[in-house]
């Protein structure tokens, strides 16, 4: 076996790479191939999603085999719920004023980005380099100088990562936009690297951790290699001591899990260094909180959205124009990793603001304790989806000092009108009461002519309790301008209802009738059903869930999640907005979203969705593992299967997928004769003169109707351009060819580890 050479240039074997699925930073990828591989939109406004070419795709394999009723270790009610948007949550938190008075924005900390360098002159990254700028320092290990710029033709990756971490401009905000950044460049202009450069970069972090005004607390390492046992041992012998030393320094190192799942014999394990015990591995999830098709899997993996993530890229990526203000939308665990790394920085800042002295383990405990645990159906591995707001509001562990808290019940002898009483707990009577909880100026509860005021300070460690008693009580909550999260359960449930923000948490007990009026912040409401028959009526501006013994009404809240999993025959009625709406239907899950409103219904036996308010509305329907029947027409589309039925009325375009199993049947109806049809072995498509479509894919039996009479369609017969018929296959070929070329171009600093010496 050849002796290990730490200074060996990387070659053409698989191994360490920038952990990004579509845009791997490769050793020999020239700029023209890089641009051809860019299947994303670029813009001076990264929030303009219309410029991204990422389009909806058929149900990922991780969802095709998922059965919410039979999986273990996961609440079926939360299946397919979108993951918390960490970038959005961070924006919400910055808009609030914590008790410390300091916005949660990462200030007081420095993050080291070990990558391809950073285009420090980018408008979102401060426009300069050195003290006084956002990128305050660093080193170029490839060129042995103090200018770690993200040069072409291969550079772009480190700049994108840095923007997600701490970017700040008129059109982009990273998660920790006031954190300082250190750039450590370990790949040269062509994407070549040396293992010693990574090793030296880790040593550099240790040696310079306290050199800057704000200490280095976090390292982002979005590179990795899929190694066999022998190669892994060699790599660990080089890097493990340095990684362990950083952990002992209290510095958290986050590494991308890798993007090779399903593509190699090593796809069931984490890439290295994400596999190190001294590193926090990060995976990617899709819009339904399922692990992305490319993301590596492992028990205990932390994960967040890694698809279509907007951030900064250097000027050279799309040609020099002299303005370093370009942005790109990329996929990969590389894009998820900086989000989690920056989240840890906000948690650290929050804990310090609470008067704590958190260790690295304390921060990770707070991070993990507030996650949403899920099970990957393909591997059985559990993974944890990050929730930033929950982490900030999390109750400290026993190792953290608790603020003094006194449970003082209300003195029921105080009955004078409009008396103001300072309390930490409210316990109502057994009479029928109407209460008002006003959150606009502190926490104020009005009941029976009395006004009760609560101090929010202690609620972060021990929630305020409002128990309305055993009567038929109603509670009207008036929200504040801050982002608030409401979770309601019927009184018959053993689960606690809560409302919380970044500055308080309140536990609600015994509430039969609730009205919540959002105060204009980025609010979120989660409503849960009873064991009986319940009904949901939801649309822009108002949502109502009712059943025997309870009624919950939520007004002016932009994100609604309703779970019907406790039993009974539950029905849901969802209504669209006046804009463009998208309906997604899966067994036991339906969502309807627009630009500013999202509503999701879980576990309902009957769902009725209406697109009647205007806009260009589309629907995507997926089958179950059983036998499903679907019909699609201009007025209504219906899918039904074992235990569920969904009806969608008024949607302009409908696409249906049958890849979950069973013997599935679809019928597509056209209003006029001589319509534009296309049929292949696994697809039936109708296209209207206005461009609307009705498409069915993967059904065992497909039938076309015109004026409600069945018609025969010969395969490949078209009355619209042939290009349309072949569009999908051409796109797939392009995607596959791009991926093939990227993998061929990807090279590794671990190339020669374990290889045989030449004779």
Tens-digit pLDDT profile for residues 79-118: 456 888 999 999 888 887 665 567 899 999 999 999 999 9
Question: What pLDDT is stored for residue 97 in this prediction?
Answer: 61
Q: Which helix (H) or strand (E) holds 665?
A: strand 665-670
In which band, very low, low, confident or very high, does the pLDDT at 411 lie, cut at 50, 70 and 90? very low
Structure tokens at 307: 């698809």
Question: What pLDDT is stored for residue 471 in this prediction?
Answer: 67
Question: What pLDDT is stored for residue 394 in this prediction?
Answer: 56
Q: Which residue has the tokens 């209207």?
A: 688
Does position 610 have pLDDT exceeding 90, yes or no? Answer: yes
Q: Tell me which residues are annotated as active site.
A: 115, 157, 334
Question: What pLDDT is stored for residue 659 in this prediction?
Answer: 84
Beta bridge partners of 572: 536, 607
Higher confidence at residue 142 or residue 62? 142
Whole-angstrom distance, CA of residue 563 vs CA of residue 79: 10
Question: 317-321, 493-497, 639-643: which range is least confident on average?
Answer: 317-321
Question: What pLDDT is stored for residue 157 in this prediction?
Answer: 92
Question: What pLDDT is stored for residue 688 in this prediction?
Answer: 87
Higher confidence at residue 717 or residue 291? 291
Whole-angstrom distance, CA of residue 556 vs CA of residue 108: 36
Question: 81-95, 352-366, 576-590: which range is least confident on average?
Answer: 81-95
- Identify the CATH number of the domain defined by range 17-393: 3.40.50.200
Question: 175-189, 241-255, 488-502: which range is least confident on average?
Answer: 488-502
CA 161, distance to chain mean position in Å, is: 16
In which band, very low, low, confident or very high, does the pLDDT at 132 lie, cut at 50, 70 and 90? very high
Question: 11-20, 361-370, 532-541, 606-615: which range is least confident on average?
Answer: 11-20
Whole-angstrom distance, CA of residue 587 vs CA of residue 645: 8
Q: Are 384 and 84 in contact (CB under 8 A)?
A: no
Q: Are 113 and 220 in contact (CB under 8 A)?
A: yes
> In the predicted model, what is the mean pLDDT of residues 454-460?
75
Whole-angstrom distance, CA of residue 232 vs CA of residue 134: 36
Higher confidence at residue 444 or residue 1? 444
The b/e string for 209-244 (b: 16+ C-beta within 10 A; e otherwise) is beeeebbbbbbbbbbbbbbeeebbebbbebbbebbe
Question: 209-213, 253-257, 352-356: which range is least confident on average?
Answer: 352-356
> In the predicted model, what is the mean pLDDT of residues 220-228?
82
Does position 329 have pLDDT exceeding 80, yes or no? Answer: yes
> In the predicted model, what is the mean pLDDT of residues 344-370?
92
- Looking from the CA of 454 toward its CB, the CA atoms found within 13 Å total 32
> In the predicted model, what is the mean pLDDT of residues 285-293?
91
Question: What pLDDT is stored for residue 671 in this prediction?
Answer: 81
Parallel, antiparallel, or unpaired for β 513-517 and 535-539? unpaired
In which band, very low, low, confident or very high, does the pLDDT at 750 lie, cut at 50, 70 and 90? very low
Q: Which helix (H) or strand (E) holds 532?
A: none
Whole-angstrom distance, CA of residue 579 vs CA of residue 251: 46
Whole-angstrom distance, CA of residue 654 vs CA of residue 695: 6
Q: Model-level pTM?
A: 0.55
CA 583, distance to chain mean position in Å, is: 19
Q: Are 302 and 281 in contact (CB under 8 A)?
A: yes
> In the predicted model, what is the mean pLDDT of residues 326-355?
93
Higher confidence at residue 235 or residue 161? 161
Cα torsion angle, 394, 398, 399, 403, sign: positive
Dihedral of the CA atoms 330, 258, 251, 365 (nearest 10)? 100
Parallel, antiparallel, or unpaired for β 589-593 and 598-602? antiparallel
Q: Are 546 and 515 in contact (CB under 8 A)?
A: no
pLDDT digits (tens, 9 = 90+) for 234-261: 888 889 999 999 999 999 999 999 988 8
Whole-angstrom distance, CA of residue 8 vs CA of residue 195: 8
Question: What pLDDT is stored for residue 57 in this prediction?
Answer: 27
191 class by beta-carbon count within 10 Å (0-12 exposed, 13-18 middle, 19+ buried): buried
> In the predicted model, what is the mean pLDDT of residues 58-71?
24
Quick one: which of 332, 334, 314, 333 has its CA closest to 324?
A: 314
85 class by beta-carbon count within 10 Å (0-12 exposed, 13-18 middle, 19+ buried): middle
Q: Which residue has the tokens 């008002």?
A: 436
Does position 209 have pLDDT exceeding 90, yes or no? Answer: yes
pLDDT digits (tens, 9 = 90+) for 624-648: 889 999 999 888 999 988 888 899 9
Q: Are 681 and 697 in contact (CB under 8 A)?
A: no
Higher confidence at residue 401 or residue 372? 372
Does position 219 have pLDDT exceeding 90, yes or no? Answer: yes
Quick one: which of 438, 391, 403 has its CA closest to 93?
A: 391
Give the contacts of 380 (CB within 8 A, at least 6 positions apart): none
Q: Where are the alpha helices (DSSP H) in 145-270?
A: 157-166, 195-207, 229-248
Higher confidence at residue 176 or residue 269? 176
Instruction: Show me where the domains of the chain are located.
Output: 17-393, 405-569
Question: What pLDDT is stored for residue 728 in this prediction?
Answer: 38
For the chain, counts of helices (H) and of strands (E): 10, 46
SS3 316: helix
Question: What pLDDT is stored for residue 420 in this prediction?
Answer: 54
In which band, very low, low, confident or very high, does the pLDDT at 619 lie, cut at 50, 70 and 90? very high
> In the predicted model, what is the mean pLDDT of residues 307-329?
88
Beta bridge partners of 219: 112, 253
In which band, very low, low, confident or very high, does the pLDDT at 714 lie, cut at 50, 70 and 90? low
Does position 128 have pLDDT exceeding 80, yes or no? Answer: yes
Quick one: which of 661, 652, 701, 663 has its CA closest to 681?
A: 701
Percent of all residues in the chain with a pLDDT value above 70, rounded to a whole number: 77
Q: Are 125 and 174 in contact (CB under 8 A)?
A: no
Question: 102-111, 190-199, 418-427, 581-590: which range is least confident on average?
Answer: 418-427
Torsional class of 449: left (φ above 0), alpha (ψ -120 to 50), beta (otherwise) = left
Does position 493 have pLDDT exceeding 90, yes or no? Answer: no
Parallel, antiparallel, or unpaired for β 505-509 and 464-467? parallel
pLDDT digits (tens, 9 = 90+) for 43-56: 332 222 222 323 32
Question: What pLDDT is stored for residue 261 in this prediction?
Answer: 85
Higher confidence at residue 578 or residue 402? 578
In which band, very low, low, confident or very high, does the pLDDT at 421 lie, cut at 50, 70 and 90? low
Percent of all residues in the chain with a pLDDT value above 90, rounded to a whole number: 49
Whole-angstrom distance, CA of residue 574 vs CA of residue 288: 19
Higher confidence at residue 702 or residue 155? 702
> In the predicted model, what is the mean pLDDT of residues 504-517?
92
Query: E strands, 510-612, where?
Result: 513-517, 524-528, 535-539, 542-547, 550-555, 559-563, 571-575, 582-586, 589-593, 598-602, 606-610
Q: What mean pLDDT value characterizes the chain? A: 78
- Looking from the CA of 608 toward its CB, the CA atoms found within 13 Å total 9
């Amino acid at each position: 076996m050849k002796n290990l050479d730490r200074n060996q240039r990387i070659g053409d074997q698989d191994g360490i790479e920038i952990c990004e699925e579509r845009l791997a930073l490769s050793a020999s990828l020239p700029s023209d191939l890089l641009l051809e591989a860019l299947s994303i939109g670029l813009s001076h406004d990264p929030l303009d999603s219309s410029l991204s070419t990422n389009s909806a795709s058929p149900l990922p394999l991780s969802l095709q085999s998922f059965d919410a009723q039979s999986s273990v270790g996961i609440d079926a009610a939360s299946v397919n719920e979108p993951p918390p948007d960490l970038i959005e949550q961070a924006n919400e938190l910055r808009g609030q004023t914590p008790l410390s008075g300091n916005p949660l924005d990462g200030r007081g900390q420095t993050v080291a980005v070990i990558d391809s360098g950073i285009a420090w002159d980018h408008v979102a990254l401060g426009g300069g380099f050195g003290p006084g700028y956002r990128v305050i320092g660093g080193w170029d290990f490839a060129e042995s100088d103090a200018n770690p710029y993200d040069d072409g033709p291969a550079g772009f990756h480190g700049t994108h990562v840095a923007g997600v971490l701490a970017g700040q401009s008129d059109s982009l905000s990273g998660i920790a936009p006031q954190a300082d950044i250190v750039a450590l460049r370990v790949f040269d202009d062509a994407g070549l690297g040396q293992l010693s450069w990574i090793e030296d970069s880790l040593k550099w972090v240790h040696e310079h951790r306290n050199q800057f005004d704000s200490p280095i607390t976090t390292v982002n390492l979005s590179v990795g290699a899929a190694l066999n046992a022998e190669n892994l041992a060699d790599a660990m012998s080089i890097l493990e001591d340095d990684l362990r030393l950083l952990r002992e320094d209290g510095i958290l190192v986050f590494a991308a899990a890798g993007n090779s799942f399903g593509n190699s014999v090593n796809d069931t394990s984490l890439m290295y260094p994400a596999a190190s015990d001294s590193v926090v591995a990060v995976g990617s999830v899709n819009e339904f909180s399922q692990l992305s098709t490319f993301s590596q899997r492992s028990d205990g993996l932390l994960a967040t959205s890694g698809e279509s993530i907007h951030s900064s890229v250097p000027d050279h990526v799309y040609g020099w124009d002299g303005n370093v203000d370009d942005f790109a939308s990329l996929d990969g665990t590389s894009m998820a990793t900086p989000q989690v790394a920056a989240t840890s920085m906000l948690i650290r800042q929050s804990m310090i603001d609470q008067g704590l002295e958190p260790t690295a383990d304390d921060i990770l405990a707070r991070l993990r304790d507030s996650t949403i645990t899920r099970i990957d159906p393909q591997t059985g591995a559990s993974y944890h989806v990050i929730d930033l707001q929950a982490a900030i509001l999390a109750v400290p562990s026993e190792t953290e000092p608790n603020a003094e808290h006194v449970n003082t019940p209300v003195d029921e002898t105080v009955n004078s009108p409009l008396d103001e009483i300072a309390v930490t707990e409210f316990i109502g009577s057994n009479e029928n009461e109407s209460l008002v909880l006003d959150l606009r100026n502190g926490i104020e509860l009005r009941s029976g002519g009395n006004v009760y005021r609560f101090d929010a300070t202690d609620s972060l460690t021990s929630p305020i309790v409002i128990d309305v008693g055993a009567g038929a009580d109603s509670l009207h909550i008036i929200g504040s301008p801050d982002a608030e999260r409401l979770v309601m359960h019927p009184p018959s449930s053993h689960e606690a209802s809560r409302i919380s923000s970044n500055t308080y948490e309140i536990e609600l007990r015994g509430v039969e009738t609730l009205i919540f009026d959002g105060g204009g912040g980025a609010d979120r409401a989660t409503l849960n059903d009873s064991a009986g028959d319940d009904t949901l009526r939801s649309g822009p501006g108002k949502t109502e869930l009712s059943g025997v013994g309870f009624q919950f009404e939520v007004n002016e809240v932009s994100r609604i999640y309703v779970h019907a999993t406790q039993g009974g025959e539950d029905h849901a009625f969802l209504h669209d907005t006046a804009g463009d709406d998208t309906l997604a239907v899966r067994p036991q899950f339906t969502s309807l979203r627009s630009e500013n409103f999202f509503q999701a219904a879980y576990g309902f036996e009957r769902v009725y969705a209406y697109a009647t308010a205007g806009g260009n509305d589309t629907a995507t329907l997926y089958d179950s593992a059983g036998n499903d029947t679907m019909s699609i027409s201009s007025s209504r589309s219906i899918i039904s299967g074992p235990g569920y039925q969904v009806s969608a009325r008024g949607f302009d375009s409908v696409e249906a997928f049958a890849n979950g199993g069973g013997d599935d049947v679809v019928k597509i109806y056209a209003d006029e004769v001589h319509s534009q049809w296309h049929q292949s072995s696994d697809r039936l498509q109708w296209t209207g003169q206005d461009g609307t479509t009705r498409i069915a894919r993967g059904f065992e039996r497909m039938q076309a109707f015109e004026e409600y009479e069945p018609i025969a369609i010969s395969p490949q017969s078209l009355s619209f351009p042939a290009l349309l018929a072949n569009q999908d296959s051409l796109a797939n070929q392009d995607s596959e060819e791009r991926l093939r070329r990227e993998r061929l171009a990807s090279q590794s600093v671990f190339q020669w580890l374990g290889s045989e010496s030449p004779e």
